[in-house]
Amino acid sequence: MTDRSTVAQKVKAPDVVPPLCWICNRNEANSREHKTKRSDLLAVLGNPTQAAPFYYHDLSQPNRPVKSLNAKVLKAPIRICVECNSARTQPHDRAWERMSEYLRKRHPPIKVDGFVRCNRIFRHDTRREMTNVHLYFLKLFGCMLCEVAPRVPIDIAPFSDANERPCAPRSLSSIWEVRWHRWAVRPALRVERARGRYRLLAL
């Protein structure tokens, strides 16, 4: 009588090619990015615990308890490589952390249809630091595009290339403010240009 476990061992599973990081297209995608910056979650919601969780709600499932800021539900399902999620994009993360802290503590608070003067946040190398902010959101946006790629085919090559070069792609100009001395606060809001100025409008 043949042992089933022995037969199972002889049957080899087909080779599965691990997915590549969409940013560099070289390394294995083995790292996950937070959908919302971990530092932002900590600053706004605090640190959840087993005894005092907060709750995550989306279209697939409402009110999922979150007991750690490292919970899988807080991270994008599309992975990138460790190198791109750390060394390559760390300046982008740091730039947004700095800007986010400024926006939260700004007095008076930001209002819709208002402006943010970026040189008050980044007094040195404003253009470079604002490019880093753009590239931070580009990383999140690229993960979202990859997630819907089977249903909505979108060429993300320009987004990958933007991480190789110190400039934000032109395709972002319709989503984010492209002038370096002023910035529209949230990409979810609409930016309108009138007489050479940009205005932030609620959707």
Q: Phi/psi of residue 37, each to 5°? A: -50, 130
Q: Before 109, cis peptide (omega within 30)?
A: no
CA 177 from chain centre, in angstroms, equals: 17
Which DSSP category does 59 fall into? S
**Choice between 21 and 3, residue whose per-residue pLDDT is larger:** 21
First to last CA, the chain: 69
**Chain segment 33-44, per-residue pLDDT in tens:** 998 899 999 999
CB atoms closer than 10 angstroms to residue 72: 9
Q: What percentage of the chain has pLDDT greater than the value 70? A: 72
92 touches 133 (CB < 8 A): yes
Surface-to-core class of residue 79, CB atoms within 10 Å of its CB (0-12 exposed, 13-18 middle, 19+ buried): buried
Spatial CA neighbour of 22 closest among 152, 146, 154: 146
**Choice between 172 and 30, residue whose per-residue pLDDT is larger:** 30
Average pLDDT over residues 54-60: 86
For tokens 């630091």, the residue is 129
- HEC string of 110-137 equals CCCCCCEEHHHCCCCCHHHHHHHHHHHH
**Chain segment 8-35, per-residue pLDDT in tens:** 455 555 567 788 999 999 999 999 999 8
